[in-house]
């Protein structure tokens, strides 16, 4: 116990020597980094705030909301001091608040770029929810703003830290059962309420492919450890009353340089959540795979069995906090978010034109 404590303290002490300047008050070694959640909707309420009660290296320190009643209830539930509560207008004053080290943007997709850039300009490290932005251009602006401000930028990719996903990645990239040949990687659920922002093109960016595409793309590209060289895609609308200017479902295929080919469905009309990998006669996969309620997995040899915490976000948040403390680029970096947006842009282009789109990764 004593030894573990010593190792933990000395690791943090070393980290504090390497840490960049913007970490609030000294000493860093004894401080859990303060996180402010921006946007108190479903994901912030049901997953991130509870996860932040169990993190070791960061804590829920502030909130940013446009709804005064939410400010009151969160203040009472999580003992958030009044001085750490902001709205969307006075948000930039967060620059003067040493309690906040990290701003976590959990707003509708169209607001990610604006609030991430404002957070960076306020000198705060940034975690932005997925998809990182509406397009590659916005991602570039976010990365540049964080670079200029010398703050870290991460994307809320909780599965980068999930043991089931890491195991599939190990089996695939290390070719444990031979080179990967095919991947099926799909995510969908039923959503027919036309009033939700996810179905509004301006706010959501384009329906299921924007909302769920990042998971299907990551599942495939991280299993082979490669970026796709080309994509083909097909977009469908079956319910024209609900899906007016966005695809209801997008099916897409990615070709990888090592020979693997993936096939994916993203849909807002039915439940699907699976990653299935084949290499010759061997297979392995996850079902469910991507939902925040946790993964379950199996290989041709039997069930996968990992101990997982109550919330996947605990590992994600602690990893980001440690990256900040160590001045290290996060595994789920802005660059990773931008890669997925580049692939989504190519998929949408392929779905709109019916043509195969070749991806050029020079400069990435």
Query: What positions carry a catalytic annotation?
Result: 130, 215
Q: At closest approach, how far in Å is the CB of 8 from ligand NAD?
A: 28
**Could you give the residue ranges of the DSSP H alpha helices within the chain?**
2-18, 42-43, 49-52, 68-78, 112-121, 136-149, 163-173, 201-204, 208-224, 313-326, 334-353
DSSP 268-285: SSS-EEEEEEEETTEEEE
- Per-residue buried b or exposed e for 72-83, using 16+ beta carbons within 10 Å of the residue's own CB: eebeeebebeee
Minimum CB–partner distance for residue 71 and ligand NAD (Å): 11
- Provide, rounded to whole angstroms, the least separation between the CB of residue 285 and ligand NAD: 20
CB 279 within 8 A of CB 257: no
Nearest distance in Å: CB 39, ligand NAD: 4
Q: Among 144, 295, 143, which Cα is nearest to 218's?
A: 295
Signed CA dihedral, 263, 182, 308, 55: sign only: negative
Of residues 204 and 256, the one with the C-beta less far from ligand NAD: 204
Residue placing its CB nearer to ligand NAD in the complex, 62 or 156: 156
Q: Which is nearer to ligand NAD, 15 or 249 (CB)?
A: 249
Is the N-terminal amide bond of 38 cis, ω within 30° of 0? no
Strands across the sheet with 230-236, in order? Answer: 302-303, 297-299, 282-286, 272-279, 182-188, 261-267, 249-255, 230-236, 357-358
Distance from C-alpha of 297 to C-alpha of 288, rounded to nearest angstrom = 8
**How much helix, strand and coil, in percent to the nearest 5, is found in the chain?**
40, 20, 35
Which residues lie near ligand NAD (CB under 6 A)? 39-44, 66, 106-109, 129-130, 156, 158, 197, 203, 211, 292
Looking at the Cβ atoms of 40 and 85, the one nearer to ligand NAD is: 40
**Least Å from the CB of residue 225 to ligand NAD:** 22
Residue number of the CB atom closest to ligand NAD: 41
- The distance of closest approach from Cβ of residue 257 to ligand NAD in the complex, given in angstroms and rounded to an integer, is 28
Q: Residue 333 gets which letter from DSSP? A: B
Q: Quote the distance between the C-alpha of residue 275 and its chain's center.
A: 17
Tokens of 112: 């990610």
Cβ-based nearer residue to ligand NAD, 53 or 148: 53
């Amino acid at each position: 116990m004593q030894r573990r404590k010593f190792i933990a303290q000395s690791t943090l002490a070393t980290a504090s020597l390497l840490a960049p300047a913007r970490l609030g008050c000294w000493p860093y070694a004894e401080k859990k980094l303060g996180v402010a959640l921006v946007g108190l909707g479903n994901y912030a309420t049901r997953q991130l705030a509870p996860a932040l009660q169990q993190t070791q290296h960061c804590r829920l320190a502030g909130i940013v909301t446009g709804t005064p009643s939410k400010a009151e209830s969160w203040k009472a539930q999580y003992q958030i001091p009044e001085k750490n509560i902001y709205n969307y207008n006075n948000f930039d004053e967060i620059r003067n608040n040493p309690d906040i080290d990290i701003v976590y943007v959990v707003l509708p997709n169209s607001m990610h770029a604006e609030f991430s850039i404002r957070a960076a300009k306020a000198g705060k490290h940034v975690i932005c929810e997925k998809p990182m932005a509406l397009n590659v251009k916005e991602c570039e602006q976010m990365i540049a703003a964080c670079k200029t401000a010398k703050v870290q930028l991460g994307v809320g990719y909780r599965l980068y830290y999930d043991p089931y996903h890491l195991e599939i990645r190990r089996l695939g990239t290390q070719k444990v059962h031979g080179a990967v040949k095919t991947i099926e990687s799909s995510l969908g659920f039923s959503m027919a309420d036309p009033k939700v922002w996810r179905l509004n093109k301006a706010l959501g960016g384009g329906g299921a492919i924007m909302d769920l595409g990042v998971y299907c793309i990551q599942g495939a590209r991280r299993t082979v450890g490669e970026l796709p060289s080309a994509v083909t895609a097909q977009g469908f609308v079956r319910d024209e009353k609900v899906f007016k200017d966005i695809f209801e479902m997008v099916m897409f295929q990615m070709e990888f340089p090592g020979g693997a080919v993936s096939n994916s469905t993203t849909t807002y009309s039915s439940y699907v959540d699976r990653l299935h990998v084949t290499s010759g006669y061997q297979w392995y996969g996850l079902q469910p795979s991507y939902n925040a309620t946790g993964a379950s997995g199996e290989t041709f040899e039997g069930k996968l069995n990992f101990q997982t915490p109550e919330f996947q976000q605990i590992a994600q948040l602690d990893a980001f906090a440690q990256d900040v403390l160590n001045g290290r680029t996060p595994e789920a970096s802005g660059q990773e978010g931008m890669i997925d947006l580049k692939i989504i842009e190519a998929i949408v282009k392929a779905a709109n034109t019916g043509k195969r789109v070749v991806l050029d990764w020079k400069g990435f």
